[in-house]
Structure 1
């Protein structure tokens, strides 16, 4: 500990080394282990070759790893300064999607920037966590009882939710709203306020269903009765359940899953990647992956709890909740517990925007750990 303190008081280069020393390297190893699982799954999805899925994913992960460690070294002061600009950029990109977005699966969700597909809703999740953590750390618990202090952050949540719904992307909009609600609760929102807001939800749900697009209603109906259209709308979930069941206890063996290798399993490199893992490695392999995800979620919550400042606590909670919802929605979807919604499994499913934004989020989480002992009110520019 004395060695670390001496480094922090030394030259800037040594300060960087001191902060790198304080990074939670156990958590970094867990991240790399999850990415290795993803590489193996994508290698299998590519038919036993590193292209077209595993190799590009690995390149993205290596870039994301460097970015994650860079973000981990940023002090809370710097992150608070970045919160509003990043939030503003995410909103501009969401508006741009509605104007010139790439259409896929019934929605406009991507922008082509420099030849790369960018999904602004992924950035919006992380930017919302940052801006809410920045807002709530400035107000006291007593102020949380005053609705006037809750109206601005409520708008911060509703604006991106509305823009994402307009794409339309119901699954991501629900995740954004849930992450925002969790931060309100963690910041000290009163129970009576929560009950007041939750009271109209059953009625709003019915209204929302009536305004869903036809393909979204079809997903709900297919979720309830997939057997009604086994070769059409119900095909994906039926094949997913077959693959899950055919894996048995120990699986059919790596690269030997019949549903995946014979291309009966749809979107096996993205939405249904866990199904392919379970088919090849069985219940044991699937449970091991879920266990790894659970350890990472609990580890993120522990980082949030260990932070001595409100900003770090809310930042850690928001990133952990976002990661949890990614996992919970994807796993529930492929098991038929909820309608199919196109949410990837973090660091395992093939994708660019989701991968980089998840790594950016982990960088914020690790920053909360590195600066866990800081009293945020006393943080200065020298902390950077």
Structure 2
């Protein structure tokens, strides 16, 4: 098996693949990148600081990875799915002993000039592993419980490792994403009901395992006005910024909440608050609609997939991306607790950006393979 398809493909076939690529998706991803640069530049007061420069460098690197994935032999992705998963588990274990500690958590591995967050890639490799498993056990028709035990174990291992960092937001997204794939695979409706009952019954136990700051975030979500200068400060300032933007916004770099630094974590979790204040409801709706376009593109790609593996991979990667978007938007307007989930590509963060771009590269790769074959 050739690792790179262009070694065995003619120039005309390579150009044919370029025509098949969904360029609208690539343009939207690029728009998100430019939006992120603009928001980061505004948040820094008009200074081309290291955050903006790093954001640009990380996007260029992610774009190179995107192109590389399009050139990889399609069979390579499927054949090594479980190995990718094992590598991600090994990296999460490595974090326990050698991870970079910041703000009381170990989430990053230093690679010299840059650092990576393994949990971001664990979500991608979990999707590949579960899809690989279900594509291999399709012959088991009558006992969906047996079919689901192994995927649940695949979910639980990285879940506990990520919770231990601690990173509640990422761990919950990983579980939600994994369970979504299991449901789509054809599990019995009764097992779904039983699973939800078990999850609900575990809430009291989970609450006692949470750190104090995590409990405060949930309590703040339930009553954000109870402590507006303390644990409720993030949400209160975010709502003020979004509401004050009006229909068309205050104008670029004219937002008082961002320019006066009232909003914490403005370069990561709350970039949408800055954008909404400066570009208003109109700009916010455009960004939201672009995200929904990518979501429906992924769902359509999953529906037309050639086989079970492709279907589950595209579905899982799309749902993972959509959860990113949905939770971040819900978080900044106070619909869910603050859990530290970035807005895809727009927020500052190299690992999350790379993970999202890898996801869409794989989806594009599967679509290209389907249309050619």
Structures share a fold, TM > 0.5? Answer: yes
1:380 counterpart residue number: none
SS of the equivalent of 1:143 reads coil
**Could you tell me how far 1:75 is from its partner in structure 2?**
4.1
2:172 counterpart residue number: 174
Tell me if the contact between 1:101 and 1:108 (Cα under 8 Å) persists in the aligned partners.
yes
Distance (Å, rounded) in 2 between the aligned partners of 1:37 and 1:51: 16
SS of the equivalent of 1:109 reads strand
Tell me if the contact between 1:144 and 1:190 (Cα under 8 Å) persists in the aligned partners.
no
How many residue pairs match? The answer is 369
Which structure 2 residues correspond to residues 35-114 of structure 1 after superposition, within 5 A?
35-114=33-112
**Could you tell me how far 1:12 is from its partner in structure 2?**
4.7
Corresponding residue to 2:308 among 307, 310, 317: 310
SS of the equivalent of 1:183 reads helix
2:234 counterpart residue number: 236
Which structure 2 residues correspond to residues 1-384 of structure 1 after superposition, within 5 A?
11-140=9-138, 142-143=140-141, 145-373=143-371
Distance (Å, rounded) in 2 between the aligned partners of 1:8 and 1:305: 28
More divergent stretch after superposition (89-98 vs 193-202) = 193-202
Q: How much is the aligned-residue C-alpha RMSD, in angstroms?
A: 2.0
Q: TM-score, normalised by structure 1?
A: 0.91
SS of the equivalent of 1:48 reads coil
Q: TM-score, normalised by structure 2?
A: 0.93
**Could you tell me how far 1:66 is from its partner in structure 2?**
2.1
**Could you tell me how far 1:345 is from its partner in structure 2?**
0.4
1:378 counterpart residue number: none
Distance (Å, rounded) in 2 between the aligned partners of 1:302 and 1:69: 22
Tell me if the contact between 2:132 and 2:309 (Cα under 8 Å) persists in the aligned partners.
yes
Distance (Å, rounded) in 2 between the aligned partners of 1:10 and 1:256: 54
Structure 1 gaps of 5+ residues are 1-6, 376-384
Tell me if the contact between 1:300 and 1:316 (Cα under 8 Å) persists in the aligned partners.
yes
More divergent stretch after superposition (283-292 vs 96-105) = 96-105
Kindly tell me: are residues 13 and 196 of structure 1, through their superposed partners in 2, closer, same or farther at Cα, counting changes over 3 Å?
same
**Could you tell me how far 1:202 is from its partner in structure 2?**
1.6
Structure 2 gaps of 5+ residues are none
CA-to-aligned-CA distance 1:152-196 (integer Å, 9 cap, x gap)? 222111111111111111111111011111111111112122122
Kindly tell me: are residues 24 and 297 of structure 1, through their superposed partners in 2, closer, same or farther at Cα, counting changes over 3 Å?
same
Tell me if the contact between 2:110 and 2:116 (Cα under 8 Å) persists in the aligned partners.
yes
Kindly tell me: are residues 91 and 9 of structure 1, through their superposed partners in 2, closer, same or farther at Cα, counting changes over 3 Å?
closer
**Could you tell me how far 1:264 is from its partner in structure 2?**
0.9
